[in-house]
Structure 1
Amino acid sequence: MKTNALRDMTNDELLQKLAEIRQALFNLNFQHVTGQLENTAQINKNRKDIARILTILHEREQKTAA
């Protein structure tokens, strides 16, 4: 997901998206272990999306604390 699209979301929307992506990552890891996953690049994509969301949330937290 693009960073600009994530920055346009509210904190609640970001937290909801974070939960969705974490669930998807769990499912992808499960598929990978059982040998059913065809596109392993999706795991890395989800990890990076999680990192992007957490970064944006932390930036906002720092901005409000300052």
Structure 2
Amino acid sequence: MRDEGIGIAPADLPHLFERYRRAGGCRLGAGHGLGLWLVLTVAQRHGGRVACTSTPGQAACSH
């Protein structure tokens, strides 16, 4: 899946799926940093995996 966002900073990528973690450049005031952690947890419990690649200024891609 690919989004149309601003990309994710390289420093944030290793921590993207940590619980309560929000990216440094996050423009949204709402949220608790649980969404991607939940995605990872559900995927792992079903025997799956999830990962993300991104280049700042370009869209992010999950796989």
TM-score by length of 2: 0.35
Larger Rg: 1
Which structure: greater helix fraction?
Answer: 1
Higher RCO structure, 1 or 2 (CA under 8 Å, sep 6+):
2
